[in-house]
Amino acid sequence: MRIVCIVFAIFHLICLEAAAALEVVITGSTGVLGSALAQQALRLVPAISRIHLGYRDATKLAPLLEKAVVAATTTTLVPLKLCFDVQSLSTLHLDFLTDESSSSIRDSRNSLANEPLLLLNNAAVCLQGASAETLCRSLRINTLAPLLLAEHVLSARAKAHSAASATTIINISSGDGELQMLHPLLQTQLSSLSSMRELHEYISSFLAAAEADAAKHLSSSANLSWLPRSNDDACSDIDKKSNSEIELAYGETPCYSLSKALLNVGTRLLQQEWNERHTSSNNINNNNNNVRIVSVCPGDFVSPMSTQDELARAGILDAQEAAREVLKHMDRYEGGSFYRFGQRIDF
C-alpha cells in the first residue's frame, strides 16, 4: 500500500510539473472574444507558464495587455505577431516559426514545439452577404488559417518528438457551422471528405471557381455552381436554376456558415489522421489522448460580428461568459468532436 501511495505521489508531482509549463496561444487575441479568452484563461486554466497573444494590429494590443496584466501573476504575456495573407491559399506567415532575429521569437517557437500546449484558434471574420470576395475572405481566414496553424504546430511537435506532451487545440466555431445550416448538397459533400488532402483540394477548387467568376463579372453572389463536381448526377439540378435561386446556407452570413462547417470537418480529419499516424505498431507507446483537437461553439455573445437576429435572442452572453463556457469544460472534451456548453453535438 505504501508503494502504491509513493507511486501515486510521484505521478502527481510529475503532473503538476507538466501543468506548470503550459503554453497558451490565442489567435485574434485583440478581438472581443480573444481578449476575454486571455483573461479567463488566467483565471480558469491552472499554472500557465506563458500566454502568447496572437495579433495582427499592434494598435489594439495595448488595451488587451492592460486588462490581462491585472490578472497575471506568475504568467508571462508574450505578444506574438501572426499575419495571414488572405490573398494566398498556401502561405501562413508565422513569425515565431520563421524569424531567427528575435530571441523572444526563438523562445516562443521552441516552447510551442516542446512544452504542453493549449492553442485557441479564435481569429475570424463574420461578414454579411455572399459575394465572391466575402466567400474567399471567409474561407481563408476562418478555415484555412486555423487549420494551417494547427498543422504547423502538430508538425513541429511531431518533429521535436514531443507528442507525449499534452496538446489541446480548440478551434472556435459556431452553431452556424452545423451541417444542417447548409444546402443539402453541401451537407453531402462535406460529410464525404475523408482526409485533410481532400479537404484542402475541395477548398482550393471552391475558391478557384469563385475567383474565376468574380474576374469575369459573371456572378455577384456565392452559389452552388462554384462547388467541386465529383458527382454529376448530384449536381444536375443546379444547372436548371439560376444562381440567385440557390443559396449556400441559411441566414444573413452564408459564407461564415460554410467556413465554420469546413473548420469543423478539418477538426475531425486532423484528429483522425493524428490518431492513425500515431497508433501504428512503431508508435505503440504514444498516448493519443495527449493530443486533442476539438471545435467549440461559445454560444451567442455580444460582439461586433453579432447579427441583429442574434442580438435580439434571449439569453445572449457577454464575451466573458462565452470565454468561460469554452474553457471551463476542457476536461470533458474528446478529440475530433464539436461542443457547445460542454455538450457534444453533431456536426
Determine contact, residues 146/27, Cβ cutoff 8 Å: yes
Per-residue model confidence (pLDDT) at position 121: 95
Average pLDDT, the chain: 76
Per-residue model confidence (pLDDT) at position 92: 36
* pLDDT at residue 305 greater than cutoff 80: no
Q: How would you class 290 by CB atoms within 10 Å of its CB: exposed for 0-12, middle for 13-18, buried for 19 or more?
A: middle
- What distance in Å separates the CA atoms of residue 129 and residue 249, rounded to the nearest whole number? 11
User: Of 118, 86, 150, 97, which is closest to residue 21 (Cα–Cα)?
Assistant: 118
pLDDT in tens, 248-257: 888 888 999 9
Please, what CATH class does the domain formed by 20-345 belong to? alpha beta
Between residues 198 and 210, the one the model is more confident about:
198
* pLDDT at residue 313 greater than cutoff 80: no
Sign, Cα dihedral of 292, 146, 96, 32: negative
**How many H-runs (helices) and E-runs (strands) does the chain carry?**
13, 9
Per-residue model confidence (pLDDT) at position 165: 74
Residue that is written with C-alpha cell 474565376 in the block:
212
Q: Give the strand pairing for 22-26 and 48-55.
A: parallel
Q: What percent of the chain has pLDDT over 70?
A: 65
pLDDT in tens, 122-178: 999 998 888 888 898 899 999 998 998 899 888 888 877 665 578 999 999 999 999
Q: What angle do CA 339, 341, 347 make, to 5 degrees?
A: 25
Q: Given its phi and psi angles, is residue 299 left (phi above 0), alpha (psi -120 to 50 degrees) or beta? A: left
Length of the chain equals 347
Residue that is written with C-alpha cell 511537435 in the block:
157
pLDDT in tens, 68-104: 555 555 566 666 555 444 333 333 344 434 444 344 4
